[in-house]
Structure 1
Amino acid sequence: MNERLPSLNALRALDAAGRHLSLTRAAVELNVTPAAVSHQIRLLERDLGVTLLERKGRGVMPTPAALAGMAELRRGFDHVAEAVRRMRDTGTGPLLRVTSETTFAGNWLVPRLARFRKRCPHLDVLIDASDRLVDFDREDFDIGIRWGGGDYPGLAAERLFDEEVFAVCHHSLILGEHPIAEPRDLAHHTLIHLDWPTRKGYWPTWEEWLDAAGVKSVDTTRGLRFTVHSHALRAAVEAQGVVLTTPLLVDADLKSGLLVEPFDLRLPTGTQTHVVHHRKRSDEPAIQTFREWLLEEAKTALVGMEER
């Protein structure tokens, strides 16, 4: 039977509001106003003849009528997204969409992509470099590089690197006007700070690093501050100060001698860098191939860093 379906926009509004329990957050996801979300849901309620949402404080709650269909509705949107992806790929050729943090993409992933292209010349790759956390259920990405503890709901995750933080600087600072031989010498140098909202509470501050070094005489309130890791590293490359970073992001600069590690002190963050993808897509050949290549590259990089 060809039953007439309600408006797709109205169904999307219900799906978003039901998940977020908020018209405001649903509006942000759909890029419309809360009033528009409310209007679409009222139209859907009138069309179906049932109440779908009830006010609760400042939020909303799905009624039993809404809950009866919301899970199937979400699966339906997932199927539509998958169908669109497959149709798009037939028109443009195989395209693997990869999401990664900006600095990891620029400093580690991109320099190695030529090897992947040589292995899989038939597969095109799109790199979306951003520090925001993408939603694999809502956005059209195949695989990603994510930082954390490895517990990502709905995603399969495999560890690439354990993360540790250490100090680096331009080689010219070591024997400059104020030589750097031990951590207390940083009192005469500019500290480059990373104010990183996505890693707040996990990324060590200069105060924490110096405390681990047993140094209290360095003023950690001054210096250069950046919200993007690659900008902080660029300042270090330009000999503008000393920065805290991770080995994998500066490995090439350390090998070339451009940057140096002046102290033998590394702080583990207790987190890792992972390759992630949606669990339901684990068997897709393109995802398997890219994941396996990333794991191989990570293993090779770790061996190189240990030998340095």
Structure 2
Amino acid sequence: MSNRLPPLTALRAFDAAARHMSFALAAAELNVTPAALSFQIKSLEDHLGQPLFHRKNRAVELTEAGRTLAPGAAEGFQTLTAAWNATRRLQDNTNLTVTAGPALTAKWFAPRLYEFARAHPEIDLRFSATLRRMDLERDDVDVAIRFGEGSDDGLYSRPVRKEWLTPVMSPEMAEQFPTPESLMKAPLIYDDSISFLRPSCDWPTWFRAMGINHTPVHGTHFSNADHAVDAALAGAGAVLGRRAMIVKDLAEGRLVAPFKVAIETQGRFRFLCLPGAETRPQIAAFRDWFFAEIEKTVHISDQFTIIPVEDIPPA
């Protein structure tokens, strides 16, 4: 048996048939006739010297050899496709695909993207609002904005300033609860999207930062940060709002932060792309715009005493 690799078309036919477990469906995917696909697989079996499929009346099954080959063939084509797409993107200076979490997309990016589009009409920007972990080598994504404390090994990673949190509410509610102590009786809103942070950045932690021993037991919980902020905007309660999610509403007076003490998380947003890709014109333009926009609201942080969460005594 020769060590020479078989033709790529034959391997492609096998990969499609192994994924679909159907010659007809595989042929449709590859836009060839079932007879042509069957011929390619037969040539692959001849090259190997043993069958890859058990052929039955209305179905096919992988042989032991087929089960051995299938994972490697699938991974090989995925890798080849990713490499090809990445190589094609090197020649593309007009399209840019960015992924960010739904809350950051809604509360931070969406109100500002008009400015980027106006400054860079030559760039076609696409946003994918998801928290799904992206593989920047395989997925059709150029830039990822992600929050947390994880490492970014193998990527270009530029961190944003650390996030802080402080109680925010509607102006009307702020009149009803003028002191930190009175907030113990206020309807509280919980942003559970950051419950993974350690040390915890939650209501009991903020109360301890204020020297108040209080552990709230009731309130409304939201899994998305933007929903929690929207509830506060509607007057449903006070939320421990994250800087990125509340800074525009604070600046424009829709929310107020009566108590000028914030707790600083150990997590932060990071601007991520493949190493070397940060110099591509559209990525560099988006990166520079992103960080310039952040700097426009840095002065709001100066209004607060910001306490690192690790400096707050545990419960």
Work out which of the residue numbers 221, 229, 232 in structure 2 matches 1:236: 232
* 1:206 lines up with 2:209 in the alignment: no
- Calculate percent identity across the aligned residue pairs: 23
* 1:190 lines up with 2:193 in the alignment: no
TM-superposed deviation, 1:235: 0.7
Would the aligned equivalents of 1:150 and 1:157 in 2 still touch at CA under 8 Å?
Answer: no
TM-score, normalisation: structure 1: 0.71
Query: For residue 79 of structure 1, what is the aligned residue in structure 2?
Result: 83
Query: For residue 32 of structure 1, what is the aligned residue in structure 2?
Result: none
Q: 1:2 to 1:272 in 2, by over 3 A?
A: closer
Would the aligned equivalents of 1:100 and 1:145 in 2 still touch at CA under 8 Å?
Answer: yes
Would the aligned equivalents of 2:233 and 2:254 in 1 still touch at CA under 8 Å?
Answer: yes
Task: Please give the alpha-carbon distance, in whole angstroms, between the structure 2 residues aligned to 1:160 and 1:203.
Answer: 20
Q: How does 1:142-291 map to 2 (within 5 A)?
A: 142-149=142-149, 151-176=151-176, 179-182=177-180, 184-196=181-193, 199-201=196-198, 204-217=201-214, 219-291=215-287
Query: For residue 114 of structure 2, what is the aligned residue in structure 1?
Result: 114
Would the aligned equivalents of 1:97 and 1:140 in 2 still touch at CA under 8 Å?
Answer: yes
Query: For residue 25 of structure 1, what is the aligned residue in structure 2?
Result: none
Task: Please give the alpha-carbon distance, in whole angstroms, between the structure 1 residues aligned to 2:268 and 2:204.
Answer: 22
Task: Give CA-to-partner distance per residue, 1:231-250, whole Å, 9 cap, x none.
Answer: 10011001111111122321
Would the aligned equivalents of 1:147 and 1:274 in 2 still touch at CA under 8 Å?
Answer: yes
Would the aligned equivalents of 1:150 and 1:274 in 2 still touch at CA under 8 Å?
Answer: no
Q: Which amino acid aligns with 2:249?
A: D
Q: 1:80 to 1:40 in 2, by over 3 A?
A: farther
Task: Give CA-to-partner distance per residue, 1:198-226, whole Å, 9 cap, x none.
Answer: 74436512122222222224x51211011
How many residues are paired up?
Answer: 258
Would the aligned equivalents of 1:97 and 1:125 in 2 still touch at CA under 8 Å?
Answer: yes
Would the aligned equivalents of 1:149 and 1:271 in 2 still touch at CA under 8 Å?
Answer: yes
Task: Please give the alpha-carbon distance, in whole angstroms, between the structure 1 residues aligned to 2:220 and 2:282.
Answer: 42
Task: Please give the alpha-carbon distance, in whole angstroms, between the structure 2 residues aligned to 1:79 and 1:222.
Answer: 51
Q: What is the RMSD of the two structures over their aligned residues, measured on CA atoms?
A: 3.5
Q: Which amino acid aligns with 2:109?
A: L
Name structure 2 gaps, 5 residues minimum: 19-60, 305-315
Would the aligned equivalents of 2:163 and 2:267 in 1 still touch at CA under 8 Å?
Answer: yes
Query: For residue 294 of structure 2, what is the aligned residue in structure 1?
Result: 298
Would the aligned equivalents of 1:150 and 1:159 in 2 still touch at CA under 8 Å?
Answer: no
Task: Please give the alpha-carbon distance, in whole angstroms, between the structure 1 residues aligned to 2:5 and 2:224.
Answer: 53
Q: Secondary structure at the match of 2:205?
A: helix
Would the aligned equivalents of 2:225 and 2:245 in 1 still touch at CA under 8 Å?
Answer: no
TM-score, normalisation: structure 2: 0.70
Q: Indicate the structure (1 or 2) with the bigger Cα radius of gyration.
A: 2
Query: For residue 125 of structure 1, what is the aligned residue in structure 2?
Result: 125
Task: Please give the alpha-carbon distance, in whole angstroms, between the structure 1 residues aligned to 2:112 and 2:303.
Answer: 19
* 1:4 lines up with 2:7 in the alignment: yes
Q: Secondary structure at the match of 2:286?
A: helix
Q: Secondary structure at the match of 1:211?
A: helix
Task: Please give the alpha-carbon distance, in whole angstroms, between the structure 2 residues aligned to 1:148 and 1:275.
Answer: 12
Q: Which amino acid aligns with 1:194?
A: D
Would the aligned equivalents of 2:82 and 2:139 in 1 still touch at CA under 8 Å?
Answer: no
Task: Please give the alpha-carbon distance, in whole angstroms, between the structure 2 residues aligned to 1:197 and 1:41.
Answer: 47
Q: 1:164 to 1:41 in 2, by over 3 A?
A: farther
Task: Give CA-to-partner distance per residue, 1:43-63, whole Å, 9 cap, x none.
Answer: 16369xxxx8xxxxxxxxxxx
Q: Which amino acid aligns with 2:179?
A: A
